[in-house]
Each structure stands twice: as C-alpha cells, then as structure tokens.
Amino acid sequence: MLRQFIVLTLLPASVLAQVSEVRNDSLRVKNLNEVEIEEDLSQVNQSYSSINKPGEAIRQISGADFIRRGNYAYEPVFRGLTMERMNITLDGMRIFGACTDKMDPVTSYVSTNNLSGIAAGQSHNSSAFGGTSPVGLNLATKKARFTGEPQFTGTGLYGLSFNGLGNVAQGSVDYSSSKFGLRVSGSYRDADPYNDGNGNEVLFTQFHKLNLAANAKYRLSSNEWIEAQFILDDAWDIGYTALPMDVSSAKGRIYSLSYHRYFLNSAQSHLEVKAYGNDIEHVMDDTKRPNVPMHMDMPGGSTTYGGYAHYGQNLGNRHKVKIKADGFYNERWADMIMYPKNEKEMFMETWPLSTRVGFGGEAELNSKWTDKLNTTVFFRSNYYENSMMSDFGLKQISIFGYENPDREDLTMSGGLVINHNPSIFNHSLSMKVSQRVPTLSELYGFYLFNAQDGFDYMGNPDLEMENSYQLSYEMKKSFDDIQLSLSPFVHYIENYVFGVWDSTLSVMTIGGNGVKFYENLDYAYITGFEQSAFWKITKAVSLKERLKYRYAEDNNGTPLPLIAPLKVDLTAQYKKEKWFFEVNSNIAADQNRVNPIYGEDETSGYVIFNTSAQRVFEVGKNELTVRADLRNLTNKQYWDHLDWGNVPRAGFNGALTVGFKF
C-alpha cells in the first residue's frame, strides 16, 4: 500500500531504486498520515558515508536545495521557497530555531543516523504537521520497535574525512521485545576548516556536534502503546564563514510523550495523541574573528510546548478520513550586545521576547473511486496569536510608530489532489491554496543584519498574510527497465513578503548598506519542474538522471533571490551482492537571473565529479562495511548560487568509513 502510494506521487527516479529497500516496518505502513514522500535514509549511500555534513540529509529529496552560510546546518529550500515559507517539523513537533540569522533550522538539531525518513510535500498534505505554510517538511526519527522474540541489535560507525579533517563516530543500540522497545543512539561529528579548489584554507568552516537520542515504547495492550522520546543536541565552535559571526554554542532539547492506538474494528481506526516540548539555546559571537570593530554577542532562546491528536479511519471500502487537531505555544527572544573599547556596552533586543500561540484543525478525505483514480481533498484552519511581551521591545518599536504590535490571524488552506493511473502511465494533479502568517523576524525583528545584501532588516507588525496558490502536476511513465518522470509546478504568492529599502533610515550595522523593512509585494511567482530518468541496464548496473529548473520573479519582473540555476545530477551505480560502486556528477548551469538589490551577483556553472565504493564483509553473524568516498575529483574551484558570499566549496576531498551492525 505504502509502496503504491509512493510510486504514485512525486517520486524521483533515484528513489525508485530504494523503494524496495523501504523496510517492512509494519507500524510505518499503517501510519500513512505521517508520510507523503518517504525517502529511506537507511540506504547504503547515506548511512555509511561520513562525508555528508549535518543537515545535508534533505539533499535526498527531489526539489530541495540548500542555502549555505557555513559548513553546517544549511538552510533548506524547497522548490525555491526558503525557510520562512516552510513548516519544518520533527516527528510532527513544532520546533522554532533560536537564531535570528536562520543558522539553526530544525534539521540542525537531529543526526543523520537517527533519521528514518523525511516527508516533504508541496502539493498535498503539506499542512499536516500543524502549519499552513506552502511547504511542509517532516523529519521522522528512528523509533524503538516491538518484535515477537526479544532482540538486541546495534550499529557503530567511524569515519574520517581528509579535507578539513573531520571525524564521525556514531552508534546505536536497539532492544526490542513484544512488550517493550528501546533505542538509544549517539553521534559525534567535527571538522576543521577545509581547503577550496585552489588549496586555500576557507576559514570558519569548522564545527563540532554531539547528538544523543532515546526512544522507548511500551505496549499497553495488543493494540495500543505509549512512546517517549528525548533528543539532546549540542553543537559548538561552528564557523559561519559567510557571516560576520560564528556560533559558539547551539543546544537543543527535544522531548515528547505519545499514545497510539489501533482500534480493532473494520474501519481500521487509528489514534495518536502526543504532547511535546523543546528548548533551543543559540549563541552567536565573533570572539574568534580578527579585526572586528568591536566584540559582539547575539544570544537567543526558544521554548515550545505543544500537542496534537490524529485520528483516522476508513469509511466503507472507498474512503479514508483523517482528522487532526493541534496546538502549540512558543516563546522566543534574541539580544545583541556590543562591547566597544572604553565605552559602555550597547544592547538591543533583536527579537524582543515574543510569544506565538497556534491552534489548528484539519480534515482530509481520501477516496478511491476506481482502481485507477483516487482523490484527496483537505482543509485546514489555524488560529495564531502573536504577542510582544518585552517592554523594552515595545519601546524600541515605538520609535517606528508601532504602538501595539500584537496580532491575531486566522488562516485557511485547502486543496485537491487527483491521482490517475491509466495503464500506460501514472499522473497526478494537485491544487492547493494556503495562507501564511509572517515569521517572528518578519513581524518583530529589530535591525537583523543580512550578510548577503548587507542590509539591516526591520520587522513590520502590520504585514498582510501571504496567500499562495499552487498548482503542480506529475507524470510518470514506466517501461520494463526504464522509468521517467516529469513534474512541473507553478507557485503564485500574493502579498509576497520581501525586504524593501527605506533610504531615510541610517544603517545600524557597521559597514552595512542600509535598512530594509519587510513589506508586502503585490505578488511573486516561482515556476519550474523536476525531471528524472532511471534505467536499470542490468541487474547490477543502473543509470540515474535528475534535472531541476526554477524561474521566479516578483510583480516588477525582478528575479527573486536565492533561486537555483538549472541543475543536473547524473549517477551510474553498480550494485552486486557485497559490492557497491558509484560515479556521480553534479552539474549546475550559470545563474544570470539575479537580484542585485539582494546582494546577488551572477554565478558560474560547474561540473563536479564524485565517486564511492563500498564493500560489506560478513563477520560471523555481524556485518562490517567499509566505504570510501571521493568528492570533487577534479579539485574544481566553485561555489553554488545559493552559497552566501561566494564562499568557495571544498576542493578535492576523501573519506573513509567503517561501520558494523550486530
């Protein structure tokens, strides 16, 4: 069922090869409301490569790109939409980063070895995790399991990468029985600054990260269980080479308790209730930077409590209904403290302590009209309340004439997905309308410096909500050994929130270019497509091709910033028994459609070659895996259009990884 569902939706060819590897985890199969596109990260390519950086797992998702500010915690972009327009959740939990510069997306507080999948959806169900943003992205962690016979298993991994000497050490143990399951995992990673293709060290690209996670399940009866989860993530000494500051410490504490029940009835009802909380502490400073005019600290914090209830059941043979109710409370703050020599320190609240309360409800009806035609309709409404709690913050913004920045918003979103699978090909059409409440920075941010365009950004509590209209289509055609897919989309956003220069204001940041206020543009649109092809030449040898293109502009015809150029990935794989080889090429075209007001310049295209080899050895009943990766074989000097500050990427790099399973 799941398999069919996946194949019918937006699946890139690269994943087709892995569908057969999706583990037969009965819980996940039943828990369909969790996933729209499931991309299994337990594939060889991911779990045994130590060369990928934290947060890079999303690379696997077609349509995803990254904005890079350093060598850590890249900001995900989905079909040209940046983090503001994404609702990223972890196991359905809302987590709000504590960094005013978007250096701590939710993806940075998890570890690859603890991820089981990432669900991304633009067309359908993207609001399923408690928001009405145009894009939803849910990270699913690995869970404890129940097994008939008690089992004890584990994994361990050590890897070393050589350009920007980096260590990866990961391990996990799983205990499972029919009544109780426990999974504990840990991961430590670090890296020194790397060298670019010209052999120059790129300063401030180092990082250190420790992640510990525990998940426990206890079966209350044959059809119900409770589950507890805790994640600790500590990162420190993280360089952000494209920014004027680094991160001295980023800490996340994430915990939840949930109750699951399958009703023993013909309707196959399922209920999940979860309560959760998380704390984020994030400290930026510039103590290690040479030649700063004055030392500066920017600490921030975010605390969230929330809960949700999901219920699903079948209505007869044809229909399946899902109902969700969720709510959260978030409070966040960030300060800036500057320490001039022989003068009193300067202080301001870049995010004055503010709260956001949200409640939402959603209903979804999935109908199978014939074997070849099914539809999904859904509707969601959210109520949000934003309040600035800090008196200091209120005084700050009183300067700009905002007396009461508190606001309430009611958002609506809804959509329709039609899947049609005639025998010659599969295709689907989805339409979605959604509304987005501006982010904390967009509403209440106070002189937030953007290193890309060199402007200080001011929040605007009077912003209108964004209304977005999405239309996407996907077509797939399968021959015996060949699969082709094409997915065009268009995304039209009314009241597009964008920074507009106010030339009457003097810049706060030393060396800055000016001050921008967030304003509503009339509209902006993003369109493009993804295309893929997969050819299984022999049982062992396969070729994959992925291509994506985006075109975006605002109502004045100015290109939107941070839009990736045409990109192509080509991969040839050999996989047989214990052996795995791969040669891969990442190709990007020039990007000449740039937004100079946003500090962008044109970016040259590049061609990068990578290769990997892996061998699995059986040691008794255990598995030992040895893997070697080589990246950027030609030692090309390059950067991507979405890399801030034209900071070169790593030149030639190699990594060795040894892993075992018991």
Partner 1 sequence: MLLKNIKVWVLMALIIGASTSCKDDDDDDNTPTPTNNPFKNYVILGTSDDDNDDDDIVIYGEKEAFVGYNKIWIVEKDDDGTVDDSFLEDQVTINPVMDMPMHSHSAPVEQPGTPDQNGARQAAVVFVMPTTAGDWYIDVTLTDDNDSETHRVKINSVVEPEETRTKSFYTPDSARYFVSLVEPSDPEVGINDYEVVVHERKTMMSWPAVNGLTMEIDPEMPTMGHGSPDNENPVETTNGHYVGKVNFTMTGYWKVNMVLKENGNDIKDDLFFDITF
Residue ranges binding partner 1 (CB under 8 A): 293-294, 336, 338, 340, 343-348, 392, 394-396, 398-401, 446-447, 504-510
When the beta carbons of 150 and 340 are compared against partner 1, the nearer one is 340
And the tokens for 444? 């209440």
Give the alpha-carbon dihedral of 130, 412, 378, 14, to 10 degrees. -60
Residue 659, φ and ψ in degrees, nearest 5? -135, 155
In angstroms, give the least distance from the CB of 433 to partner 1: 38
When the beta carbons of 4 and 506 are compared against partner 1, the nearer one is 506
Q: Do the Cβ atoms of 514 and 455 come closer than 8 Å?
A: yes
Local structure of 7: helix, strand or coil: helix
In angstroms, give the least distance from the CB of 392 to partner 1: 6
When the beta carbons of 206 and 450 are compared against partner 1, the nearer one is 450
In angstroms, give the least distance from the CB of 346 to partner 1: 3
In angstroms, give the least distance from the CB of 558 to partner 1: 26
Write the single-letter amino acid at 238.
Answer: I
CA 254 to CA 473: how far, in whole Å? 37
CB-based burial label for 128 (10 Å; 0-12, 13-18, 19+)? buried
When the beta carbons of 83 and 515 are compared against partner 1, the nearer one is 515
When the beta carbons of 418 and 505 are compared against partner 1, the nearer one is 505
* Residue among 318, 427, 423 at smallest CA distance from 368: 318
When the beta carbons of 423 and 506 are compared against partner 1, the nearer one is 506
Radius of gyration of the chain (CA): 24
In angstroms, give the least distance from the CB of 446 to partner 1: 8
When the beta carbons of 338 and 560 are compared against partner 1, the nearer one is 338
When the beta carbons of 100 and 382 are compared against partner 1, the nearer one is 100
In angstroms, give the least distance from the CB of 515 to partner 1: 8
The total number of residues written for the chain in this structure: 662
Local structure of 392: helix, strand or coil: helix
CA 535 to CA 480: how far, in whole Å? 9
* Sequence-ordered list of residues with C-beta below 8 angstroms from that of 518, at least 6 positions apart, any chain: 438, 441, 442, 443, 445, 457, 458, 459, 460, 463, 497, 498, 499, 500
When the beta carbons of 179 and 395 are compared against partner 1, the nearer one is 395
In angstroms, give the least distance from the CB of 553 to partner 1: 31
Longest CA span, the chain: 78
CA 535 to CA 542: how far, in whole Å? 6
Give the alpha-carbon dihedral of 70, 72, 74, 75, to 10 degrees. -90
In angstroms, give the least distance from the CB of 175 to partner 1: 54
Write the single-letter amino acid at 396.
Answer: Q
When the beta carbons of 236 and 400 are compared against partner 1, the nearer one is 400
In angstroms, give the least distance from the CB of 339 to partner 1: 10
Bridge partners (DSSP) of residue 455 are 450, 514
Residues 61-98 as b/e (b if ≥16 CB within 10 A, e otherwise) read bbbbbbbbbbbbbbbbbbbbbbbbbbbbbbbbbbbbbb
In angstroms, give the least distance from the CB of 332 to partner 1: 19
